[in-house]
Every structure is written in structure tokens, then in C-alpha cells.
Structure 1
């Protein structure tokens, strides 16, 4: 039903009346002498034909019917129209020359004498069906008639207020009657034309059920002046006059002063407004940061009482990673549900493991839990998803986590800390962490930005090989490394040196260091500076992209050659055999024990594959470690390969976190090109292993390494099994 019905105008349609709606569309209105229950018909008796035609039957207050046709003509001419209202003998004729002037449609006349329900049907048909059928949504005459039509059925509509804007996205709000629950259409009318509101709206119970609070959004260059909002459903029609005085407010400003902060409204803004653009995403994140929800736990922490807390709730495109802990000595808890917008609560499948609280919190035994809620992107931008705790008593208790971080680096660190390393099983990785970590890593990569470059001296224009050296916080080996490079005449003549700084906050210090070392050793140097810390793979790929050499020598910053000739020998191996995809040398610890003599894969008692090094810990002169041979892989600490092959396989795969398993992944990708991987035993270098990576907080927790191992195995297990089987056969043959 209509909320308010305006005054009726006098009209007489006992005989058909024709009106001009727009230059190409006419309206024909007729009141047959009885109620019409069958579909009416309109026929053209002359040679003219309709382009499009539609009709609607409307109930009059006196029980009779009014029929309104809308039609367009293929060409304007004289019309001979026959109207049939379904009953025998119930017909009328109308002859009219549409090339001559005909009166403009009168909305007040057409709605005169109609029931409230009929007015609602006509408005919704007119705005939703006919505007599209006759392509009139941008016609000024159509819009003017639409506004008159709305005034004819409600001459004093309440206000819908444009309350805030984010770029071109405008948010509007109004109150509805309590029975206006299910909305079918929401249409905005203004000088711009007619436009449907964006598909999802918020329509929730308000004021203890006495009203409903409606929020919607629309993308426009500016809010419309002299406009209307029309909402329709099975309950009837609601017409609202637009007010734009506060349209220019930011989302955070409006929300901060809003007295209607219902949880459903907050969820709507985050889920629906946040997904529109980078600008709207930033706006909803800022809104949440400015006005976070109060964290809510359940119970009290004591010897015999139950307690439950959700500490982590990280939302992504696929769902939400959830982590927390509970203490339930009385078995009062049945489960936890996540609330996802307007959908029913979704139960979490908890993976639990034993834990103990610190002594400062009582030292109680607890159950830690982790879960992944597959709710899709509905909570994608929500920093505080809401939960409900189901109790055995049948009651439900609200749970709200503390505000989650919005910075992607902090999000990744939070995800890596949701479970302790010793509890991160393959089941936890595949069932929970992998869903969110892969997305986080992708978002992280996109956040890194473009690097910049600084040069020291006149660099080689056409080097044979580019030495790419990633730097992260540890610079103590640069001097020794460059000193060794400077004594190698082949290297100085054929190689360019490209450092990649992955801790850009230290650029001033590194720039001073390299400027001094350039003067000291006379080697030209290039410094590629990442915009932000991106990890090993992104840094190496950035250095490789900047490289000019035919070959790439991927060298860690803590690798120092023992004597000259190492790089020439490794490059020569590639030049002499095009089937070789990558080569590496012997790496030694400071005490001359072997750290690396080729990379292989080993399997533990749980079937998990790990990277390992041949003859690790053996003495430098161990005979088998001195022979060059094909190996499953070589370490990225010292790897030389053709730049063309590197680019063909896409460089280092960059979905591993921080730095681990990228080198073996690259070797396995090169093998897909039918390339061999070889170890050269005569090229010796010192490697002060993992000095830089220990400076990375995300890595030192241990979960990143386990995730990388799981990801590597998930991707390459079949290849690894086949490769290690072949390697075992080669080793048996060499011993025989």
C-alpha cells in the first residue's frame, strides 16, 4: 500500500484518450464499463505498425478497471486503433493523426480514481519495465512525467537523505514503515534520468521494530537535485523526496555522528561500499579504525568457569581465518558461528590443540583453536567480523575480536602467528592457513610498488653476466665481497654488479657504503631500491629485470668468493652445454666445512619433503664433493643461469613468504624446459648462511618456513619423487 496518497484530479476515460509521453512514445488510457480480468488488446487497423507495445490493468476505486497502453511507432502517421477489454462486445475505436499535435500525458489525470494498490502497480511498471522497454531512462520528458506521477500519488513524501559520499559513490538513508521488509526494486529519479540503486541494499528492523532503516548506494557524479527515491515490494510502494544538504560528508564523519549505528548497517557499509574501488576500501577501513567495535569475550577466567576469546579474524576473498582460545571445564560450549551479513550464522570447524596460559593469567590449561570460515568475500574488508558462541543451554553469546590490522605486512604477521609452529600440521596448513596466506601474499606483492635505481661509476653497457645481490638489513659482508670481486679480472671486465636493497629505510646508509666501496675498489655498481620490503623473490626478480647481462648470477649478500675465476667457470659451463639450465658452486662455512655441494630433497617419517644439501658438514676436500655432476638443484645463494631461461619460467616464484624454497622451485621450473641442473665442485665460495633472513620477524616465527615447505610439496611432489628416484639410480651407478 502507499504510505500517503495525494489528492485525485478529475479525469474522464470512458472513451479512449491518447497522450504524448515523449517524442517517440504515446500513452493510451481507457476505462471500460466493467472490471477487466483478461488481457486487453490494442490493434492498429490501418497500414501503420507498432514498434513496441505494453499495457497494464489498474483497479479503480469503484471496482472497474483502467487500462493504460504505452506504444511506439515505426513511423508517425494516422492511426485507426481498436481496443478490446476481454469481454464480448467490450471494445472501443479511436482514430487519431499522431503527426499532428496531441496533448502531453497528465500524470494526475491518469492516477485519478485509482486504488492505492493500482497506483503502486502503475508506478513500478512505469519506472521498472517501461523505462527499459522504450529506452527512456535518460529522456527528460520521461523523467518530468515520472516526477509528476510520483507527486500525483504522494504529494508530501518523507525525505531520503544523501548522508555521505566516497568519490562517485553516494550513500542514502531513510526510515520505512515496519511492514516494508522485502524490497523488490529501488529506483532513483533525478535530472540525470532514472537509475536503479546498486544491487545490494540494507533494510533492517529499527526502533524496536516500529520502523525499518533503509540504506542504499548509487554511483553518480553528484547527488541529484529535485529527485525522488522509489522503493517497491509486495507490501506496496514508498516514495521519498531527496535531500542533499549533507551529501558531501566523508564516510567516517557521518558514521562518527550517526546515532543509528546498527551492526547490520556497519556490515553493509563494509561489505558493499568497501568493494567498489580502492577509494571506498580505504574509506571503510578508515571508518573501522576511527570507530572500532569493543572487543567482546565470553565468561570469566577462573579455575572452574568457562571462557572464550577470538583473537584473530582475518578476512579475505575466500573467507575468514579465525584463531583464539577457550577454557571450558564445565563443558558449557557447543560451538562458534560466524555472522556473515544477512545470511544465517555459519558454524566454524575448529582445529584445536592444547596450550597453557602464562602464569600472569593463571597458568591454566586451555584449548587453542584455528578455523577457516568459507564465507567468500562478504567480509572482505571487515576488520572485526562478529561471531556467536553457542552454549549447551541453547543461549547465544556475542564474540567480537580486537580490531585486526589493515596494513598488509601486519596482516601477514598476524596470520603467521595464529598457531604455534609445533601445531602447524599439514592439515592446519591445507585446511586453514593456505586459504588466506596465498591471498595475503598476492596482496602483499601488489603493495610493494616499483623500485628505483642509483648508480656508482660508469656501468658496463653490454656485460656478459649480471651479478644480482639482494640486501636486507645486513651489510657487514659487502666489503669482503667487493674486495674479492675486485681481484677477479674476468669478473671486472665482463660482469656488472647489481645490489637490490630490500630494506629501503636504510637507503641512505647503503648509498654511503657503496659510494665509498666504489671509490675504494674501482668497481662500477648499481643499486636497485625496492619501494618496500618485498622478500627474497621480489628483490631478485627486480634485480634480474634491471640486469643487462646474458647470464644472471644470483648471489647472496653473505657469499664471499675464495679465489678468482669462480664466475668465469660457472658461466663457461653454461656456454659449453646449452642443456644446462643452472649451475652452482661449492659453498663453505667459515670453518671450511661444506655447506652446499648441490641441492637434493629428503623425506621425513611423515612423508614431508624438505630441501637439503649434499655433504653438508663434511670437510672441504671431501672427494665426492669436489666432482662436478648433475644434481636435483642448486641453492639460490650462488646460482648462475641464462637470463632468457629465467624470464621464460617467470623468474623466482613469488608466492613463497619472505624467502625459502624459491631456489628449488626455480630449478624444478627449469627442468620443465628439459634443462639439467649442475654442480661445479671447483668453484668455491664462503657462505655465512642465513644471516639476513634471521632479521625478518615474519620468518623467525617458524610458520612461514612450514608454509613454504607445504606449498613447495603441494606443487612439486610428483616431480620430486621422480627426480630423487633418478638421482638415486645415478648415485648407485657411480658407486658401482
Structure 2
């Protein structure tokens, strides 16, 4: 385009306001289907173009509108970036009006490319245009993902960059990330990466940067100082970080450490980099676990467990034998930094195994409380897969311990921490400071990440069910057929919907096959709900309740079997007759016929601060007179808990904050009470409960601190309420 295309002439044209106006020609370049660029040398009579208004045949142009002046040898060229819209097309006319009333008509004429639009080949002008376009696209126009616009910018850069310096891609950091060394002297500030499909702002650190993979065609970088840098991948395949980590060449290892450090710095603020770093640590070779445990040494130590809590903290468990006081300092080391650990901050607990192992050691035995645990709430801002503990000795020497890999799924990390200390050794201080905080964080993540359950309906559903019987199942299938047969023989259960929730999905085929056979045999419909993984009793009850249609829910353990038909009706009658009752529970019997449950109450054990759950008349004869009386009680057990559906919904159902199962039944009763309801005991409903059978196969519960954690959580929530309740109702 010749320079004359953009010159203005003073014509006396009739305007709508009857004022004389000038006319000028403006070049128009379509950058993409969504963005257009105008260029004109001047608008006669209008000095401050950025304050003027632009109108077309369809009315005022819609914002955003952005002006930029570029100096040329022939004067200034005024550029306007706008969204494509009616009135911005070749052959149209725009009205440019100043606040003073002066107006000018702009006749739009199409330009074929940037050079034609600018009317010059001056590199400085083209570079300034490129900086203007990319800055606005990343700003108010939000056009960074506009592929056509990105391609236009890429072509401008390629036309300008014949002599541009080269950025060298050195390491592949991930599927879509490369570590790049930049030409020296570019200065500080972010870079703009011009790619084939997008433009984006990239952080640079000195002479290096981590960039998205530009692809085989390469890309261009625009520095904050306005320089262009060409980015091209080498013809050979780039090595990955894991490959460099295995190399014995010092240069390769140094490059790997530099790239890893750059990733670590960006991981603090960029979630994709955090995920990339986590994945790399999991897949790269892990250092061998290392302890200092020879009995003949004057001291010994080990870091058994270092588990991030996925919320910025890390849990540590280890041991230290130092009879001569040689260990002067402890430093926790990760790939992202170091932090000193005062020995006084370690929470100690007994390790009888170490006392036995080091008995008779020449320099002294292990202390009875040689174990230590610690939670650092802010100690793992970055996701480290493996941790080290460096021991500084009084002689100035250092010994480094290496923990096993600890970057685990939240559920595995939660269970590892709960199993870190034997229950008899877990003091209230250890629970409060070292165990409960990371477990609470991890369990919340487990519950938040629950997948959707799958419901399988077997047989014709019951119409207008009076109650929904919800039975969670986890691994132990010993009572499955006995319980279902008892239900099927009971006429009162024909009006109930049976909902079984399988919390061990690995047993799906076996359980589904069994229930399909039982349903056909007894002509009893049911719903089988499959949890995607074991989330615990509370989550299983919620999954079952979500499928229920009845006005009453009965939560029933899989190891509960009716003593005789007709057991459900008395509980339903109690709820119908006493509107104040939100929930009721039956009489439960041990295998030998003695009482296991006649209502639940709370007590403090001697020397204990926390409340425990217990059952009235436990171990008494089945027909113990006091247990034959229906009455209100503090709570009832979740082994058989009958609750109004509306009351369940009003309090949000059973809590999923408790790990695996325990105390959520009394928590539900207390929340129903807080909502204005009462809890009742119905002795005419009798069932056998083969206690703890439904959870006996759960190693994560039976051998861990889960029950201790749950009791502490329950106590913190309800201490004052329980004290007031028990003062009113009493143990007997």
C-alpha cells in the first residue's frame, strides 16, 4: 500500500449535524475473525484520537477500543485495535467525532498485510506494532487463545526475525514443557511466547525459562524490552529430566538440577507446574532408604515416614538413639529447601522394638521413648516425593537419613499416619499436635474427591415403601445370605426397600451374583449400590440414602440379623406415635442372647478426659426388667438406627468427617437433638448383632489410630453438650 492511502483531505461534506467535516482514508486489516486493526496518519481537525468517538452504520463501535501511535519517518501513524463488528469492513465509512464537535469521516480500505497497512518496511515500526498487538491481546481483549490472531503475530515475527538471537531448548521437563537457555543480556521481565495457536506470558529467571513445547515448527519470544528471540527445537530428541538424573556426566546432572530448581520456584504459584513436579518425582528413580542403625555405633537414627498432607504440611515419624549426646542439630531436607528441627519439638513415644534391638549396645541402649513424631503444618509447600533428615554431629560431621517415598494418594497418606504409632502409645499431645491435624486435612481431601456411586436395581421396586433399609457391606460376606433370608421371610419387610451399599468394589461380581440369586429365590427386590472405593461407613450410608424413596431410613450393619419376624413395625410405630422422636433404635443381643444394646449413653473412663460411647445394660440378661421399658435415651447405635428421612435431611445426614467408622452414629444423634428432636429406644424390636464383625477385615481400622482420632473429633465437637445431656439423663 502506498503512503497516499492513509492521507486525509479537507472536503466540505454534509454531516448529520450539518457541520462541515473532513474526510480521510483508513487502512483496515482483519487479524482474525474476532479482531480488526485500523491505521491512519491523521484525522483533520481532531488532535486527541483516544478521546474521540467512532460510529458506523450500526451505531457507536462497541468497546474495547485501543489506540496506539507509532512514529514513522513521515510522521505518526495512529493504530486502532477493535473487536470485529458491523461497520468495520472494507468499503464502509466511520464517523470520528471529537468532544468539541469536530468530526471526520473515515473511509475504510482493506490492507493485505501488516506491511501494506503500515506503508513501510521499517523493522522498528513492525516490532512496535507486534508489541502493541500482543500486549492488548493478553490484556483487555483476552485474545491469547485466538489461533488465527496468534498465527498472524507469528508471521509478523518470522518476517522480522531473520537476525534474531536463538534460544536453546535443553531439556524436556514434561509432555508440554521445555527448559530453555536464553541469549545473554535480555534484561529482566516476563517474555511473551508467540506460538502457532496461542500467545502467552512466560516468567523468565535470568538466562533461563520453562516454556510450553512450541512444536517442531518452533516459536518466537518477545522480550519486555521489545526484542525478538527465535525458539527452535534441535533435530535430535531432547533428553528428559529422568534421563539426565541417571547420567554420570557432571554437566547433565547440573542441567537436571538447574531445571528441577526452576520448576520448584514456579511450582509455588502455578498449579500445572506443581502437578508436573509431583509426577516427575514419582516416576524418577527414588533414592534408597537409608538409616544409621548399627548397634556398634555411638548413636543411631532413622526417618521411617515422611508424608506430605497435600495442604502444605508434612508428617514425620522416626527414631533417635543418642546416649552420648552426639547429635547437635537436625535438618529436614527436600528438593526445595531445608528447615531446622529443634530436638525439643520432637514428640517422643515408646519403641519397645528398639529397646530390645539395642539392648547391650556398647555405647548405651536406646531410650524407652526413642520414637518421635512431628507435623509441620507449613513444612511442605512443594510436593516432595522423598525426604532426608541430616544429622549434624558435635564433631562437625554430618549423617543423612533417607525416608521411604512418601508422596501418596490422600487416602493412603491418611492411613499411613493413622498406623504410624501403636494405639497404646498415642498420648493426647501426640494425637492433638502430630496425628489429628494431617489426618483431618487428608480425610477432607478423600471425602471431597469421592466418585459417584453406581446403583443396580434388581427386581421390581417396592411401591410407596414404608422404610428403606440401608446396609453397608465391606468385605465380610459371612452374614449376607442369613440376613437376606431373614428379611425375605418377614412379611413386614415386604413393604420396605432394601438397599445394599458395597464399599469394597473389588467384590462386585461376587456380591452382585449372590444378590441376584437371592432376589430370584425369595422374589424380593433390592438395590445394590457400588461405591468406587472404600470411603467408610458415613459415605456408604449417604450413598444408600441417595437411592431411598421412603419416609424412614434404617441404617443397619451387615452383621445384624433379626431375632424374629415383625421387628421393624414397632420402630415405625414409635416414630408415628411420638412426633418428637427423630430417631429410634432396637434392642440388640449378643450371640449368647445377652444384652448388647438398650440405648447408648456417654461416659468418661477413669483418668480419661474424652467421652466414650457405651450401651445401657450391656451383658445383662435379655429380659432384664429395665431393658424391657421403652424410653428416651441419649443416643442409639448405628448398628441399627431408624431415622425419619426429613430429620436426616434437615441435619445433612450422617457426618463423613469420621474415618472409616465409629462415633458418627452418636454424632448423628447429637445433631438430631440439637435440631430439636429426641432419640428413643424400642425394646420390642429385637435383633442379634455379631459385634465388630462388619469391620473385622479392615486392617486400616483395627490396627490403627482411627478409633482414637474419631473419639477425639467427637469429643471436641460435643464435650459441653454431652456433659449437659448426661447430667440430665444419667447413666441409668
**Equivalent of 1:241 in 205, 208, 231:** 231
Contact 1:162 1:245 in 2 (8 A): no
Q: Please give the residue correspondences for 1:201-600 in structure 2 after superposition, counting only pairs within 5 Å.
A: 214-218=208-212, 223=215, 225-229=217-221, 239=229, 241-243=231-233, 262-263=256-257, 265-266=259-260, 269=263, 287-295=280-288, 297=290, 299-315=292-308, 316-339=310-333, 345=339, 347=341, 349-357=345-353, 362-363=358-359, 365=366, 367-375=370-378, 378-380=381-383, 382-393=384-395, 397-404=399-406, 406-445=408-447, 448-492=450-494, 494-600=495-601
CA distance in 1, matches of 2:419, 2:604: 26
Deviation readout 1:381-417 (Å, 9 max, x if unpaired): x321444444445565544311226344433331212
Deviation readout 1:425-469 (Å, 9 max, x if unpaired): 332223222232123223333555333344444331221111111
**Equivalent of 1:631 in 630, 633, 656:** 633
Contact 1:227 1:241 in 2 (8 A): yes
Partner of 2:13: none
What stretches of structure 2 of length at least 5 have no aligned partner? 1-26, 30-35, 51-65, 82-93, 99-106, 110-115, 360-364
Measure how far apart 1:683 and its partner are: 1.8
What stretches of structure 1 of length at least 5 have no aligned partner? 1-19, 29-42, 58-65, 80-96, 112-121, 204-211, 732-736
Contact 1:538 1:654 in 2 (8 A): yes
Partner of 1:48: 47
Using structure 2 for the length normalisation, give the TM-score: 0.74
Measure how far apart 1:552 and its partner are: 0.9
Contact 1:165 1:247 in 2 (8 A): no
Measure how far apart 1:567 and its partner are: 0.6
Deviation readout 1:289-313 (Å, 9 max, x if unpaired): 4323213546452244223322212
Structure-2 change in CA distance of 1:238 and 1:105 (3 Å): closer
CA distance in 1, matches of 2:443, 2:422: 20
Using structure 1 for the length normalisation, give the TM-score: 0.74
Count residues in correspondence.
638
Aligned CA RMSD, in angstroms, stands at 4.4
Partner of 1:171: 178
CA distance in 1, matches of 2:124, 2:691: 85
CA distance in 2, matches of 1:327, 1:688: 45
Deviation readout 1:203-222 (Å, 9 max, x if unpaired): 7xxxxxxxx7x45144x8x6
CA distance in 2, matches of 1:357, 1:404: 23
Structure-2 change in CA distance of 1:426 and 1:126 (3 Å): farther
**365-374 vs 551-560, which moves further:** 365-374
Structure-2 change in CA distance of 1:244 and 1:684 (3 Å): farther
**259-268 vs 619-628, which moves further:** 259-268
Deviation readout 1:137-177 (Å, 9 max, x if unpaired): 7576665555666655xx442423572543xx433333776
The yes-or-no answer on 1:185 pairing with 2:190 is yes
Structure-2 change in CA distance of 1:555 and 1:358 (3 Å): same
Partner of 1:106: 122
Measure how far apart 1:47 and its partner are: 2.7
**614-623 vs 252-261, which moves further:** 252-261
Contact 1:473 1:506 in 2 (8 A): yes
CA distance in 2, matches of 1:550, 1:389: 63
CA distance in 1, matches of 2:376, 2:76: 52
CA distance in 2, matches of 1:397, 1:175: 39
**427-436 vs 562-571, which moves further:** 427-436
CA distance in 2, matches of 1:577, 1:268: 67
CA distance in 2, matches of 1:685, 1:559: 7
CA distance in 1, matches of 2:171, 2:707: 50
Structure-2 change in CA distance of 1:224 and 1:631 (3 Å): farther
Contact 1:456 1:515 in 2 (8 A): yes
Determine helix, strand or coil for the equivalent of 1:345. Answer: strand
Contact 2:555 2:638 in 1 (8 A): yes
Contact 2:134 2:199 in 1 (8 A): no
CA distance in 1, matches of 2:683, 2:492: 19
Structure-2 change in CA distance of 1:54 and 1:109 (3 Å): closer
